Structure 1
């Protein structure tokens, strides 16, 4: 029988100094799918998950929004916590209030769809460190390349 002392300090994961936390989120002023002005202050104090995408997205956005809708329902069922799911468009050229309204009702009854003018969308995307870029297609049949991140 051999006994050995485990030196926990040598087995511990070493962590270097922190460079600080990323500043994610910030002020925005957008229009919801019912035509109401929504700012960042309106969602403060609520459990909220924010996803940036666009309504003409063929695959990724619908898949991600369905995952978000399912997660919102499961969390409420298991914990009772109400989460507000929020979709922010990165395609202000096509994503009108009406277009966003029709889109969000396909996923979850509580999903808040937000859109706005180009400057306001840029400001919101910058605040959340979201990358997006319209592809170089002619006319209105284009895609928007964008980050695929959900923010809590």
Structure 2
């Protein structure tokens, strides 16, 4: 369904970038982040949805500013997953035909359901340039930053 494809877009971004695109902890915060990142939805996108919150009008920010390591095809696909209007959102079948997946080669379409994409020669996960090794202990576990631990 189209709501599932929105979720796929959020998961795709998080898997590729290592962090959520919309890390809100309340409904209001989540909506504010969505609107700030994607721009305020057009009034005709959700005509009968009364929101209990009011938000300022936001212009969309380019997704590549949040995901500089993703190529243009990946950014385009995420944008198609995160379309406000459900009927215009990309379907799973069309997403699999998107140029992003074609650029990975034909082997990606022949993978067994339980196989990792990283088993395909030439496909690898590269470290995020935003990676800060100071957040990791010697055994590789993420450590809380001092500021974060003070907030918890």
Q: Report the TM range for the smaller structure's normalisation.
A: under 0.3
Greater relative CO, 1 or 2 (CA 8 Å, sep 6+): 1
Higher strand share: 1
Q: Which protein has the larger Cα radius of gyration, Structure 1 or Structure 2?
A: 1
Taking structure 1 as the reference length, what is the TM-score of the superposition? 0.21
Q: TM-score, normalised by structure 2?
A: 0.21
